[in-house]
Chains A and B, each alone.
Chain A
Amino acid sequence: MSTVESRAATLDSGATTRRSRANKAFDIGGLILTLITVIFAVLWAFPIYWALITTLKPEQQAIAKTVEFLPRTWTVEAYWHVLVNTMIGRWYINSLVTSLAVTVITLVTSALTAYALSQLRFPGRTVLWYLILASFMVPLTALIVNHFILMAQFSLINTWMGVVLPQLIHPVVIIVYKNFFDSVPKEYREAAKMDSAGEFQIFRRIYLPMNWGVTTALAIVTFIGAWNAFLWPFLAVSRPEMMNVAVGITSVNDAFGVQYARELAGAILAALLVAVLYLIFQRRVTQAIMLSAGVKG
């Protein structure tokens, strides 16, 4: 974290020196660039703002022919309607449970596998590693038909388990973990071995704690992915009470007549948890994505 920051700082100071040494026209160029950046950012974020504002208007104002950037009348009626008339609470729980399960199971199994691949010798090690590398480019989406058949055979359609299982294939997580485990100095392991610590203890006491940053990063990325998953949860669930929030808001019809504000309120609610978490842990999420991808290359 600190290296990234200090690097950024040096980069910035470098830019400043560069600018100060150049002529004045250059400075104006920089100013214009900053201005363009800000305008572009505002335009980029505008749709989210606009959706949010629409949900706080009464339906009749939402479809007014004039553009109002703030509601004339503030109301949370649309949210109230969604909370009362849909199963959104239930959908939230489904999303939470399945996303957490996907995250935890993926991380645990991947970390263990990566540790074995990185530190231990066993038959089939190379084959397994190449299989994992190769499956990085395989489109899991192509398996929807057979995943569905398989889950139906296990009677797991319309269950949390059925939603979770096919989402567990994340070769990237193993690849990242292995890279980080590879770079842990061998001395730690040797020393622990001297104390006759078992492999699992070494894994749990040394390798995991030394890489908490990676774990957090991968957890964040996996969780966002699972929370936002659409296609598989959409196929694996037909009972409204088992849907996750991303699927529920567009599959179940709960309102009649003009309902733009309500539809958007459902959408805002569906996005809320992850959006708020992101805004709180912005720095962490940013690093997580850089970290999880930076190593892949």
Chain B
Amino acid sequence: MNKIFKLAMLSTTATALLLSAVQAQETVVWWDFLGGGDGVRMKSLIERFNTEHEGEITIEGTTLEWGTPFYSKVQTSSAIGEGPDVMTYHLSRVPLGVDSGALAEISTDDLAAVGLGADTFASANWEAGQSDGKQYAVPFDIHSIVLYYNKDKLAEAGLLGEDGKPTGLDGADNFMAALEQLQPNSEYALSLQTSGDGTPWRVFYSLFGQQDGVFLGEDGTFLPDDSIPKAVSAVETMASWVEGGFAPALTEYEGSVALFTSGAAALHMNGVWEVPTMTDLAAKGDLGFEWGAIAIPTFFDHPATWADSHGFAIPSNGGKEMTPEKKAAVFEVIAWMNKNSLAWADAGHIPAYSPTRDSEEFKTMEPNATYSVLADTAVFDPKSTLAGVASPVYDAVANYIAPAMNGEMSPQDAIDEMKADLQDQAD
């Protein structure tokens, strides 16, 4: 007992000392939600920033639970002026964030002063941070989902080409045949999160995009009539993996990662942000197999993969103005992170900052180079106050698509109910 008290006292005294020492410099309170493999990379980026800015700026970073818990905290804190100074934010959520008043406008002059602007990012990426022509978020990356594979298992099943890359996975039927070949040597041929709102949405939206499905029509209709069959076949495809016993039912995010890293699953669909998990495990010799990652196969008409972006945003904090010194520090943080985003590419992401993305180092970086084609075929979430991370659309995925993946609901019913639910909330 005593020991714990001492530790507790020690840590507070340490914090107090630190706080008094940095009075002269700016402290930037930073919140993120990077709890995946990329979180480790962000932690060291922050450490690097702090060392390079010793005596000037210190980032005080905290990682909160991804998704709804994060955005609920941000929204309420921002409304009463208790939000952080800067935070990571999904560009898909910018319309919703602006609509609920959680975000402060970012002046392009301030950005230009630190060397950022429309010309340093891809235009679609840059514009995703806007609402009504005003900038609310600065892009940091583009990220997507990929197919991780266990080389040893694929080789055994004869699914590895001469170049060491998987072959014969394109097309829903071929993919199913591949799963059947892989299943005998694995607990699961394919592991993916099959519960909740993350992966189910990303995979669904990719398969839906491969058929040119329209999620939100120009007239504000969710899933217009001719897109319904496309949505249904996307869900049917996903459900067939679970139904056939190739993918685990009702499995959470962490569990799906563990299934792959422990060698129990041959394939794994997940975001690029788990690349560091694999790299680090492999480097420590704890992985036990050779791994790789490729773009999500084409199941339908043409390649397409869901994508979103992390960006930086400043909470409106109930209209509370930052001091000029604090503001300068925040912009320095945003600019520094972008200019050093090669390290972020190491976390699996595609850097938003064009100079980094165009650099030779990035272009030859593996496995990013293997799946970088997906940038050309990316489909982004619909721009709507009902869409984006922790939005009604994400909730609907957890409520309808995930159950349908697990056979608790027919795909047709799931899509019909999802459409009705979303339309209801839109009106």
Contact = CB atoms under 8 A, between A and B. Distances in A.
A258 interface: yes
A62 B62 CA distance: 27
B51 interface: no
B390 to A, nearest CB: 15
A252 B64 contact: yes
B15 A157 contact: no
Nearest to A254: B63
Contacts of B15: 90, 241
A208 to B, nearest CB: 29
A143 interface: no
Interface string B244-283: 0000000000100010011000000000000001001100
A239 B37 CA distance: 24
Interface string A229-260: 00000010011110000000011111011100
Interface residues of A, number: 29
A253 B35 contact: yes
A89 B36 contact: no
Contacts of A90: 8, 11-12, 15
A92 interface: yes
Interface string B60-102: 0011111001000100110110110000000000000000000
Nearest to B29: A239
Residue with the greatest number of chain B CB neighbours at <10 A, chosen from A157, A240, A241, A269: A240
Given A238-B77, A239-B82, A89 B11 contact: yes
A148 B8 CA distance: 29
A294 to B, nearest CB: 31
B4 interface: yes
A235 to B, nearest CB: 8
B39 A253 contact: yes
Nearest to B76: A238
Interface of A is mostly: helix
A256 B77 contact: no
Interface string A258-279: 1000000000010011001000
Contact of B65 (A92, A148, A152, A251): A251
A13 to B, nearest CB: 38
B64 A157 contact: no
A254 B37 CA distance: 12
Contacts of A93: 8, 12
Nearest to B40: A256
A83 B7 contact: yes
Contacts of B9: 89
Given A93-B8, A157-B82, A276-B1, A253 B258 contact: no
B420 interface: no
Contact of B277 (A88, A89, A252, A257): A257
B8 A92 contact: yes
Residue with the greatest number of chain A CB neighbours at <10 A, chosen from B1, B82, B83: B82
B113 interface: no
A268 to B, nearest CB: 11
A221 to B, nearest CB: 22
A158 B80 CA distance: 11
A52 interface: no
B155 interface: no
B177 interface: no
Residue with the greatest number of chain A CB neighbours at <10 A, chosen from B9, B11, B29: B11
B7 A256 contact: no
A63 B254 CA distance: 13
A64 to B, nearest CB: 11
B10 interface: yes
Interface in A92-106: 92-93
Interface in A67-107: 83, 87-90, 92-93
Nearest to A263: B254
B65 A238 contact: no
Contact of A272 (B4, B63, B69, B80): B4
Contacts of A83: 7
Contacts of B76: 148, 235, 238
A275 B2 CA distance: 15
Nearest to B280: A257
A253 B254 CA distance: 13
Contacts of B254: 258
Given A157-B80, A239-B82, A256 B11 contact: no
A90 B39 CA distance: 23
Contacts of B36: 256
Residue with the greatest number of chain B CB neighbours at <10 A, chosen from A87, A148, A239, A254: A239
Residue with the greatest number of chain B CB neighbours at <10 A, chosen from A235, A241, A258: A258
Smallest CB-CB A-B distances: 9 pairs: A89-B11, A89-B8, A238-B77, A253-B35, A253-B63, A152-B80, A240-B62, A92-B8, A238-B73
Interface of B: 1, 4, 7-12, 15, 29, 33, 35-37, 39-40, 62-66, 69, 73, 76-77, 79-80, 82-83, 254, 258, 261-262, 277, 280-281
15 contacts: A88-B11, A89-B7, A89-B11, A92-B8, A93-B12, A152-B79, A157-B80, A240-B64, A241-B15, A253-B64, A253-B66, A257-B37, A257-B277, A257-B280, A258-B254
Given A238-B73, A269-B4, A276-B1, 11 more contacts: A63-B258, A88-B11, A89-B7, A90-B8, A239-B29, A239-B77, A252-B62, A253-B39, A256-B36, A257-B37, A273-B1
